[in-house]
Amino acid sequence: MPTNGQLSLERTIPTLKALPRPLYARAESLNAGSWTPPHRHDWVQFSYAISGVLGVHTAEGSFFAPPQWGIWIPADLEHQVVTSMRAEMRSLYVRREDCEWADGRCRVLEVTPLARELIKSFCLLPVEYPQGDSQEARLVSVLLDQLAHLPEVGFSLPLPRHERLLGLCNELIESPERNVTLQAWAERLGTSEKTLMRLFQRETGLSFRGWRQRMRLLSSLSLLEEGDSVTNAALSCGYDSTSAFIAAFKGLFGFTPGELFRQ
């Protein structure tokens, strides 16, 4: 799982004051360790990973997209895009008035085979494609309809807003293999374990144990995409056994690591 301390290549955010059409596409090849500074824009963004694992950090949490998944970023939401490995990204920018069906949440969506082919076709169109009753405009209409119905998946990690608790969470994100206990965190914060347990649940919506498991599983995505064995990924992320890792992975995501990266 990439964190700011591990990243080194700042990407320039292109200057685009308004979208030339209801839908606009960008194709990018991202180097390992690249990142954007926190920013926001007036349109919705859907960033789709063809290869590599994309990460988007917001104040509410972090979101990760392995190949063939994408991240929906609402308009006006401050966010940072990061990659810990080389990645091929396709981004769609959508005028907010053309996706009023969407809520204001950042989320990870599965890119269906039909949506994938529509995105490929759209990326071949000129920036100022014909509008009206043109073939291109009809393609855009179908693509927007498909985006509205993409299934949501759980490749996200909520983060606390409590400053000191967030600092401890970031320490664990940087070293997911560490077996830190909630009691040890409570001692560092000068509070009781029960009080910290309630604070953690209130801030993240998850128990500490559930949050740590989700964080470890998300940390494994980049390792698996880079070709690490399931065993190495499991050990690197704090699991003592491969079978326990696979069971937890399938329990959270709905498929095994092997099934995920065969898709």
Give ∠ CA 156-157-160 in degrees, rounded to 5.
Answer: 145
Architecture of domain 4-153: Sandwich (2.60)
The DSSP line for 22-87 is: SEEEEEEEE-TTEE--SB--SSEEEEEEEES-EEEE-SSEEEEE-TTEEEEE-TT--BEEEESS-E
| Percent residues over pLDDT 90 in the chain | 66
User: What is the chain's mean pLDDT, rounded?
Assistant: 89
pLDDT value of position 8:
58
d(CA 128, CA 125): 8
pLDDT value of position 226:
84
The DSSP line for 121-151 is: HHHTS-TT---TT-HHHHHHHHHHHHHTTPP
Residue with tokens 């694992």: 53
Straight-line distance from the first to the last Cα atom of the chain, in angstroms, rounded to the nearest whole number:
21
Which helix or strand (DSSP H or E) is residue 158 part of?
A: strand 156-158
Dihedrals φ, ψ of 70, to 5°? -140, 160
Residue 5 has pLDDT above 60, yes or no: no
Amino acid at 20: P
Across residues 11-17, what is the average pLDDT? 75
pLDDT band for 192, please (50, 70, 90 cuts).
Answer: very high
Across residues 221-226, what is the average pLDDT? 88
Dihedrals φ, ψ of 45, to 5°? -125, 135
Of 139 and 153, the structure prediction assigns the larger pLDDT to 139
Residue 118 has pLDDT above 50, yes or no: yes
d(CA 219, CA 55): 11
pLDDT digit string, tens, across residues 101-110: 888 899 999 9
pLDDT value of position 109:
95
pLDDT value of position 30:
84
Residue 41 has pLDDT above 60, yes or no: yes
pLDDT value of position 46:
96
- Domain coordinates in residue numbering, the chain: 4-153, 160-260
pLDDT value of position 215:
95
Across residues 104-125, what is the average pLDDT? 94
Across residues 143-163, what is the average pLDDT? 92
> Which of 102, 52, 35 is CA-nearest to residue 72?
102
pLDDT value of position 4:
41
The b/e string for 77-110 (b: 16+ C-beta within 10 A; e otherwise) is: bebbbbbbbebbbbbbbbbeebbeebeeebbbbe
Q: Specify the pairing of strand 34-35 against strand 9-10.
A: parallel
Across residues 38-49, what is the average pLDDT? 92
Architecture of domain 160-260: Orthogonal Bundle (1.10)
pTM for the structure as a whole: 0.85
pLDDT band for 259, please (50, 70, 90 cuts).
Answer: confident
Structure tokens at 105: 């949440």
